[in-house]
A = this chain, B = another copy of it.
Amino acid sequence: MPADDKQKRATIHDVAKAAGVSAATVSKVLRGVKTVREDNAERVRAAVSALDYRMDPIASGLRGEQRRIIGAVVPDLESAFFGRLVTGLERAAEAAGYHMIVATSRESEAREADLIQGMNDWRVAGCVLVPVRSERGLGARTLRDLDMQAVLVDRVSADDAFDTVSADNHTASAAVADFLVRLGHRHVLLHGATQISKAIRTRLEGFRERALALDPGMRIDELLSDAPLEDQRPAIRDYFAANQGTDRPAAVFSLSQQSTLLVLSEIRRMGLDVPEDIALVGFDDADWMQTTWPSITAVAQPVTAIAERALGTLLARVEGESTGFPVQYLEPCTMLVRQSAGQTEKAPPRRSRNGGQ
């Protein structure tokens, strides 16, 4: 077959010529501006499909101010939580007629700031940021400096420049404290094996406050580290070696999914039984947790709700419907009671209160 490859794609002028109107008119039809006579509009539409015309978003973006693109920056895409979050964001964005571009900061604040600069260069309408550490990090500062529209998600508390959305870590962790205390546990290990972010701190405090309120004599140990996962096993072993017999904690509350897996693995290796020897509750549910034996009691985060809320508030700002001062949204978590914590009294699955303000 002969090469008719190199026919370059039709421009708006080609369409204009074919329809017998000016380029400006075509542009109006394409963008749905109403001041065009219907017969002209019809001829334009015919020409568009006859020529297979597609608007060039780059040329379009050069002059036009507002782009219909939302940027998202997340710490990584290897954990199911962010994967689902991004999926939810993308779905919501699309439903509102926006495109999404995603990038990962790989837990680096410098990269985070770079990516945001890049998104600003591409003139995104707004940006969803899951900060590496907190709302006071480099990424958030860059957003502010660049005067961008944004919403901060997950590893955040209230902020004075941007809306924030996260799981209600504090309330959910308090519910875990309720649960463990009611089961009679008076010595708990709090274990955090990931980036010590705002979310992790909030979970920690939520638990600690409630537990101490219920029983001031409660013993709460902490084992926190953001070292690479495999390097953390020795620390766990050391801890248990140093706390044997009556000093061994009655329960572990692991503050992240990776943390849960790590602790479970080490508990197994020590030959302890869950929940007979030690109870385990994890923050952040995973699909394997209901299948493993024993199944793991965990706090499930409302990922979809977070995604929808985040995109909703962002778009409200972008489209100018919302102009008030920043709001912090706390989406309620669900605690899935399974086997790993035992159960002396039949506690119904608890829902944490909805947050607000």
Contact = CB atoms under 8 A, between A and B. Distances in A.
Contacts of A90: 103-104
27 contacts: A57-B122, A58-B58, A58-B61, A58-B121, A58-B122, A58-B123, A62-B62, A76-B87, A77-B83, A77-B86, A78-B80, A78-B83, A80-B80, A82-B83, A86-B104, A87-B106, A90-B103, A90-B104, A99-B118, A100-B103, A101-B102, A102-B102, A261-B287, A265-B290, A265-B291, A286-B288, A292-B292
A77 B86 CA distance: 8
Contact of A79 (B83, B104, B265): B83
A83 B290 CA distance: 22
Given A80-B78, A80-B80, A54 B103 contact: no
A28 interface: no
A132 interface: no
B261 A121 contact: no
A58 B84 CA distance: 30
Contacts of A57: 121-122
A99 B83 CA distance: 20
A39 interface: no
A347 interface: no
A257 to B, nearest CB: 9
Interface in A55-89: 55-59, 61-62, 76-80, 82-84, 86-87
Interface in A249-270: 261, 264-265, 268
A191 to B, nearest CB: 15
A147 interface: yes
Nearest to A118: B99
B78 A87 contact: yes
Contact of A54 (B54, B62, B121, B261): B121
Interface string A115-127: 0011001110000
Nearest to A111: B94
A331 B227 CA distance: 30
Nearest to A58: B61
A5 B144 CA distance: 11
A325 interface: no
A293 B86 CA distance: 31
A265 to B, nearest CB: 4
Please name the 4 residue pairs, one residue from A and one from B, whose CB atoms are nearest each other, closest first.
Answer: A292-B292, A77-B83, A265-B291, A288-B288
A274 to B, nearest CB: 10
Interface in A89-114: 90-91, 99-104, 106
A126 to B, nearest CB: 17
Contacts of A123: 58
A57 B290 CA distance: 48
A103 B268 CA distance: 39
Given A58-B62, A265-B290, 19 more contacts: A5-B147, A57-B122, A58-B58, A58-B121, A58-B122, A76-B87, A77-B77, A78-B87, A82-B83, A87-B106, A90-B104, A91-B106, A99-B118, A101-B101, A102-B102, A264-B291, A268-B291, A286-B288, A292-B292
Nearest to A90: B104
